[in-house]
Amino acid sequence: NRPTRRFIRAASICWRTISSASSRARCAVNIFSSLFAARALADVLARKGDYRAALKELQGFAAAYGASWELREVLKTPAVPFEQKTKVLEAVLARLKASTVTRNFLRALLANYRMVLLEKVVEGFRRVANARMGIAEVRVSSAARLSPAEEEALRAAFRKLTRQEVELEFQLDDSLLGGVRAQIDSTVYDGTVRGQLERIREELTAR
């Protein structure tokens, strides 16, 4: 289909650019290439696919790729013949029972030397897919691990705030004194003790 062919052509151009670029330019092109790949897959799925199912399949393959040193070496080493790489990829995808769309997408990554960007591509697709499904991504930082009840309370609060389904990503931050800090895109909601102290300090200095 057209989006997949467009991705393959663009990926080839990106690879030639990366090969001759400086390290800084190479990093920028890599980011562009992974985002372009994620959007190309989303374009294909927009007509007849399932974003969630495709994301689950990609994450499953990425987990297998990350867990197996042998698999990574075969798929990313230039000395390994392409035919052998393809056979290995097909065997893994068959075991994972991947859909045709996911298979074609990963074949395109392999054919265009983009398998080293797999993690970035999967993360990019997750963000693109969530945006198209109307799911708000919320990054929540706290000094201590939150209980399931606290996580659910935050989920409900941000669902009400955004009027969207939300996907929360939790992370620990030892620099926080207490409470939580949440971020949606560029907007930060600071409910930490440190944040409260900063607001009090600002109010006092403004008087």
In this structure, are 10 and 109 located in the same domain?
yes
Residue 122 half-sphere exposure, CB side, CA atoms within 13 Å?
Answer: 20
Same structural domain for residues 64 and 147? no
Domain ranges, residue 121: 2-132
Q: Is the dihedral of CA 47, 49, 52, 58 positive or negative?
A: negative
Ranges in the chain, pLDDT < 70: 1-32, 193-207
Q: Same domain, yes or no, for 179 and 189?
A: yes
What whole-number distance in Å separates Cα of residue 153 and Cα of residue 168?
Answer: 11
pTM of the model: 0.71
Q: Pick from 132, 167, 196: which residue ends a domain?
A: 132
Cβ atoms 118, 109 nearer than 8 A = yes
Q: Are residues 24 and 65 in the same domain?
A: yes
pLDDT tens digits for 124-141? 999 999 999 999 999 999
> What does the pLDDT read at residue 9?
54
